[in-house]
Homo-oligomer: A and B are copies of this chain.
Amino acid sequence: MNPQLDKDGNLRHLLEIEGLGRDRVVQILDTAESLLPLTERAVKKLPLLRGRTVVNLFYEPSPRTRMTFELAAKRLSADVLNLDVDHSSARKGESLLDTLRNLEAMHMDMLVIRHPDSGAAHFFATHADPQVTVLNAGDGSHAHPTQALLDMFTIRQHKPDFAALTVAIVGDIAHSRVARSQIAALRLLGTGEIRVIAPHTLLPADIDRLGVKVFTDIDHGLRDADVVITLRLQRERMQGADLPGSQEYFRHYGVSSERLALASPDAIVMHPGPINRGVEIASDVADGPQSVILQQVTNGIAVRMAVMALTMGGERTAAQEPGT
């Protein structure tokens, strides 16, 4: 049983892309599209989640990701509480299950959870009361589904026919929950060809099962690509044994304008942010006409609003009563 869907196939939680099904993903993207104009208005507010309580439960510090969820929830009129948990002290203290039970006892309606351990969001959803929704804001190296959905939304804006696309993902595939979710989403949407470009040290062990073409040479991997997705290189990675240094990384795997010229002339370039200029991507590419990086940020709010609206919607929304 997939805990993400209720018995009628409606979205109950968002934990990972796997198992959502193509229709559900398209529904999320369509809902986000209908919400996008709202974010352009002066009054960026819908009453959909009025009186509902959303808690951002972050076991990893990520002020910007937290801000995108907080913004999405507030624009839907929810009450938002932020709970930053120091993971190192949390290990010694209360268990995840006790935390969940306490938040449920406070009648939180939605938990947005970010956690360094893969499976944390899944654990919450599996054990949550029926009236609680869990959104995965990144768990270990497992999944970051809202990031993948906003990436699909951005690709669809520019290139709606996924079957005709060649998408190349460049960077640290092994440790990237973003890449893992992107690949799953691209496959669900029937993408023509999915490529990953990385040194052997940054490829996951199960790469053969992911249904992608592997390139260790970026010049080969970018050739005729329609979409170039760069991944953020974690600084801790750069100082470790896996990589010789950020300049060295850029020389071998950075997306420069020369390299981008190998891709399709109308290729778009993406990055989940925040970018390391001159490491994963050259400044002139990040700021150039093919970059859609800032559109990704804008779309991220609409996609998160869509996921919140859909998971909290249906019967539960119908039960909504006016407070005053």
Contact = CB atoms under 8 A, between A and B. Distances in A.
Contacts of A102: 64, 273-274, 294, 297
A116 B83 CA distance: 22
A323 B46 contact: yes
A297 B105 contact: yes
A320 to B, nearest CB: 5
Contact of A320 (B42, B85, B316): B42
Contact of A43 (B68, B81, B320): B320
A40 B107 contact: yes
Nearest to A94: B274
A294 B107 contact: no
B47 A52 contact: no
Give the bracket for the number of chain A residues in contact with chain B. 35 or more
A42 B53 contact: no
B294 A105 contact: yes
A44 B98 CA distance: 23
Contacts of A107: 39-40, 44, 298, 301
A321 B42 contact: yes
B275 A98 contact: yes
Interface stretch (A5-13, A69-77, A208-216, A252-260): A69-77
Contacts of A105: 294-295, 297-298
14 contacts: A42-B109, A43-B52, A43-B320, A44-B52, A53-B74, A68-B106, A77-B323, A98-B274, A102-B274, A102-B297, A104-B294, A106-B297, A106-B298, A107-B301
Q: 4 shortest A-B CB distances, which residue pairs?
A: A43-B51, A105-B297, A45-B323, A45-B51
